[in-house]
């Protein structure tokens, strides 16, 4: 049948525009074996041919209406096109008359559409129409009438011809580039055999669409390599946020320029540096989309620029967010919204001081409310806001903090405001985000003064202590104590005293530890600070342990746990149980100690108290070593080491000591000793000396351990080491 159709068309095409007699056509189609009824057979073939050709019946025969040459209005395909394999594969699977490519400005929609249209040319042999509707242009957009006239002319028609009639019985691809919703419908072919490909910054849910994102890291590298940009382009790609338009502008700007110099310019003025003089710019591209928005949507977009973090909660947006999503200026991800990095920067430059204050107030009220719901037992170093937003319980507060953590950290770092840092302090400490607390506290300290600066020094003192920077931690504490004392802020002063006592305890300076701890306990009582008093009792128990007063130590710690349970203070309950386990283990009450450690671990894991979990795992590992369960001890110590990461040097070195004991490794003991001495972790140093002495049966090493313990006033440790030495 295909051969007969081809022969019929060839016979008609041989005399274009003229009727070809029926018998001539029959002879051309069936030269050797004509059918019994040739006219009927011709009618059948012609009806089939009319699916793709315009054939007119005349009185003497059939006439083929000649087609104009198939138009191809497509722009040239880019020779350095890279990537988009997944998107191309998705387009290839679409079997719909209209398909759309949508995405944010500068993401490469036109480039992909042109590539796809060239790929489809063989499927649409009667032509490919293309028009840039300039839906996002500084000048006037193209009207429907202008676009139709362009198409009609390309199809060989005249001013009075109908666009869709000209497409009838043809297979034509129509590409509508930079389209807006209001002009699309009249330009669609609407005839069988034809198809349309649309690009738009607007979402097009009415059509089968492929949403285009930024390039992958590898694709971005390939694009720059194709533009002959040499050198390490990783930072350049990050600054361009993998947006194709930005990368192409950067690549063009780098012709004859020094890559590090241009990257340095981008760091300081990203949007200004991403433009080609008198040609194109990322900012100008964004401007075009921004101007298309309603006034209300523009205000919402500007407001979103005040959120410095990676995404935006639904509670911060208005109903006009839907317009921004439809315009692909904002992406929705569940109940949160995101802006591309460069769009976020563009919005941030448009936001007002009023917007920034409104966003800050929104977060501070909720952070204060979440902090109150944590019931963490931490002293509030600054008064909370009066109109804080209440949270139902600790779980809801923790979930909110986890969701908003990156935004809170970015906001606190940008605003350098001590109040927000104080509201985040308990959450960040309990969850083990020490590095993030340091970032925001240091930023605020550079900006604040008086009691607000003192509050930041308390945060930094704790962090420096845990990281082995004891002398810096002491300086922070002393300055905070002086500031709080001058302002008669006894509760805050007591908190700084308590941290200072902990620092001196780890340094082995027990007299100073006891002195500062006693001063803190005196202040806690009259101020009704029950949680803080409980914490002070726990610290007192640890000091008494090192002084060799084991019974008194156990009594203080049991009292602290009992009081913490009474007020449901999870922080001090789990911490007190951990410390109680240490004292019970020291008294060889192994079963009771293990029970205390198990409960401390259970509470800390269930309630996200990461620092307590780390400490409990190390202390429990020591008990397991003492009872001969080395394999279990290794698991606990390795998990503690994993949790500590790079943020808690004390736990890291302590866990390494436990592993040295498990592995019976002199080399590992030496490394622990080196680090403990460098960081002035006196108690760990003494324990490491004693451990290596026991392993090597070296009396001289025992003597050195005893001398170091006694010089620090660590009576319990000194007596314990003497017992071990006497057995050698």
**What average pLDDT does this structure show over 114-134?**
90
pLDDT digits (tens, 9 = 90+) for 531-575: 677 877 888 888 888 888 889 889 989 998 998 898 888 888 998
Residue 279 clears pLDDT 70, i.e. is over it: no
16 and 113 co-located in one domain: no
**16: in domain:** yes
Q: What is the pLDDT of residue 389?
A: 93
In this prediction the pTM is 0.69
Task: Verify that 368 and 427 share a domain, yes or no.
Answer: yes
- Asked whether residue 627 is domain-assigned, the answer is no
Residue 409 sits in which domain range?
A: 352-444
Mean of the pLDDT values across residues 182-210?
92
438 and 375 fall within a common domain: yes
Same domain (yes/no): 164, 240 = no
343 part of a folded domain: yes
pLDDT over 80 (residue 380)? yes
Tell which wins on pLDDT, 74 or 378.
Answer: 74
- Asked, for residue 476, whether it belongs to a domain, the answer is yes
Q: Of 429, 435, 553, 411, nearest to 495 (Cα)?
A: 429
Please give the helix or strand (H or E) that residue 639 lies within, else none: helix 630-644
Kindly state whether residues 343 and 361 are assigned to the same domain: no
308 pLDDT more than 80: yes
Strand partners, 129: 174
CA–CA separation, 316 and 26 (whole Å):
76
What pLDDT, in 10s, does the model give residues 444-481? Answer: 999 999 999 999 999 999 999 988 899 999 999 999 99
Q: What's the average model confidence in pLDDT over 600-612?
A: 90
Query: What is the reported pLDDT for 255?
Result: 67
pLDDT class for 138, splitting at 50, 70, 90?
A: low
Is there a domain that residue 521 lies in? yes
Pair 151, 163: CB distance under 8 Å: yes
Give the pLDDT band of residue 401 (cuts 50, 70, 90): very high
How far is the C-alpha of 365 from the C-alpha of 386, rounded, in Å?
8
Number of domains in the chain: 6
Higher pLDDT: 595 or 29? It is: 595
Do residues 512 and 498 both lie within one domain? Answer: yes
Task: Note whether residue 227 is domain-resident.
Answer: yes
Residues 189, 140 share a domain: yes
Rounded to an integer, the average pLDDT of 106-129 is 90
Q: Are residues 404 and 304 in the same domain?
A: no
Is residue 529 very low, low, confident or very high in pLDDT (cuts 50, 70, 90)? low
Same domain, 497 and 403: no
- What is the per-residue pLDDT for 523? 84
User: 217 to each of 66, 239, 338, how far by Cα in Å?
Assistant: 51, 12, 19
Q: Is the pLDDT at 78 greater than 80, yes or no?
A: no
pLDDT of residue 23: 85
pLDDT of residue 436: 92
Q: Which pLDDT does position 728 carry in this prediction?
A: 65
Same domain, 358 and 307: no
Q: What average pLDDT does this structure show over 339-350?
A: 82
Q: What is the CATH number of the domain that holds 300?
A: 1.10.10
Residue 363: what pLDDT? 96
> Are 272 and 300 within one domain?
no
Do 454 and 506 lie in a common domain?
A: yes
**C-alpha–C-alpha distance, residues 268 and 262, integer Å:** 10
601 is a domain residue = no
pLDDT of residue 633: 94
With 60 as the cut, is the pLDDT of residue 282 above it? Answer: yes
């Amino acid at each position: 049948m295909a051969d007969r159709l081809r022969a019929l068309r060839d016979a008609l095409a041989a005399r274009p525009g003229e009727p070809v007699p029926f018998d001539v056509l029959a002879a051309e189609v069936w030269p050797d074996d004509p059918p019994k009824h040739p006219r009927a057979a011709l009618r059948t073939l012609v009806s089939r041919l009319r699916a793709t050709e315009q054939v007119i019946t005349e009185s003497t025969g059939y006439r083929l209406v000649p087609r104009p040459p198939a138009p191809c209005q497509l722009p040239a395909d880019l020779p350095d096109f890279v990537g988009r394999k997944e998107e191309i594969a998705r387009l290839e699977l679409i079997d719909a008359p209209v398909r759309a490519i949508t995405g944010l400005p500068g993401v490469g929609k036109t480039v992909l559409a042109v590539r796809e249209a060239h790929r489809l040319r063989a499927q649409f042999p009667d032509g490919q129409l293309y028009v840039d509707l300039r839906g996002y242009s500084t000048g006037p957009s193209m009207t429907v009438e202008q676009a139709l006239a362009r198409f009609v002319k390309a199809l060989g028609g005249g001013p009075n011809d109908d666009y869709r009639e000209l497409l009838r019985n043809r297979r034509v691809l129509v590409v509508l580039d930079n389209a807006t919703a209001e002009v699309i419908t009249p330009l669609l072919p609407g005839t069988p055999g034809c198809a349309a490909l649309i690009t738009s910054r607007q979402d097009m849910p009415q059509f089968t669409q492929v949403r285009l994102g930024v390039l992958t890291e590898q694709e971005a590298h390939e694009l720059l390599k194709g533009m002959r940009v040499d050198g390490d382009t990783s930072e350049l790609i990050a600054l361009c946020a993998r947006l194709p338009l930005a990368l192409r502008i950067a690549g063009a700007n780098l012709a004859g320029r020094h890559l590090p110099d241009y990257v340095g310019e981008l760091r300081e003025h990203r949007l200004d540096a991403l433009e080609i003089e008198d040609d194109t710019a990322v900012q100008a591209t964004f401007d075009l989309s921004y101007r298309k928005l309603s006034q209300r949507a523009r205000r919402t977009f500007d407001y979103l620029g005040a959120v410095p973090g990676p995404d935006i909660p639904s509670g911060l947006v208005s109903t006009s967010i839907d317009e921004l999503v439809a315009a692909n200026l904002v992406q929705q991800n569940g109940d949160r919204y995101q802006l591309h990095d460069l769009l976020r920067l563009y919005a941030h430059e448009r936001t007002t001081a009023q917007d920034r204050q409104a966003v800050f107030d929104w977060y501070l009220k909720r952070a204060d409310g979440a902090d109150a719901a944590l019931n963490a037992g931490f002293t509030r170093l600054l008064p909370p806001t009066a109109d804080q937003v209440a949270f139902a319980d600790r779980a809801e507060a923790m979930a909110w903090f986890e969701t908003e953590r990156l935004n809170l950290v970015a906001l606190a770092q940008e605003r350098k405001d001590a109040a927000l840092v104080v509201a985040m302090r308990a959450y960040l400490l309990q969850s083990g985000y020490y590095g993030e607390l340091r970032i925001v506290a240091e930023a605020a300290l550079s900006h604040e003064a008086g009691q607000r600066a003192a509050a930041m020094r308390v945060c930094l003192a704790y962090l420096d202590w845990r990281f082995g920077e004891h002398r810096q931690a002491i300086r922070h504490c002393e300055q905070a104590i002086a500031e709080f004392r001058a302002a008669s802020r006894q509760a805050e002063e007591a908190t700084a005293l308590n941290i200072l006592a902990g620092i001196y305890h780890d340094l082995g300076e027990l007299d100073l530890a006891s002195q500062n701890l006693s001063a803190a306990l005196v202040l806690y009582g009259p101020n009704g600070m029950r949680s803080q008093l409980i914490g002070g009792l726990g610290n007192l128990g640890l000091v008494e342990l090192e002084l060799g007063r084991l019974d008194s130590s156990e009594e203080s710690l049991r009292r602290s746990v009992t009081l913490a349970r009474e007020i449901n203070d999870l922080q001090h309950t789990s911490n007190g149980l951990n410390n109680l386990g240490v004292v019970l283990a020291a008294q060889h009450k192994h079963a009771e100690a293990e029970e205390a450690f198990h409960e401390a671990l259970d509470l800390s894991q269930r309630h996200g108290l990461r620092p307590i979990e780390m400490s409990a795992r190390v202390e429990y590992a020591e008990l397991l070593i003492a009872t001969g369960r080395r394999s279990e001890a290794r698991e606990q110590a390795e998990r503690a080491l994993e949790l500590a990461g790079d943020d808690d040097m004390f736990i890291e070195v302590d866990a390494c000591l436990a592993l040295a004991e498990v592995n019976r490794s002199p080399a590992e003991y030496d490394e622990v000793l080196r680090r403990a001495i460098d960081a002035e972790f006196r108690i760990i140093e003494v324990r490491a000396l004693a451990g290596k002495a026991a392993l090597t049966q070296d009396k001289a090493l025992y003597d050195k351990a005893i001398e170091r313990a006694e010089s620090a006033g660590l009576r319990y440790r000194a007596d314990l080491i003497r017992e071990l030495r006497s057995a050698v």
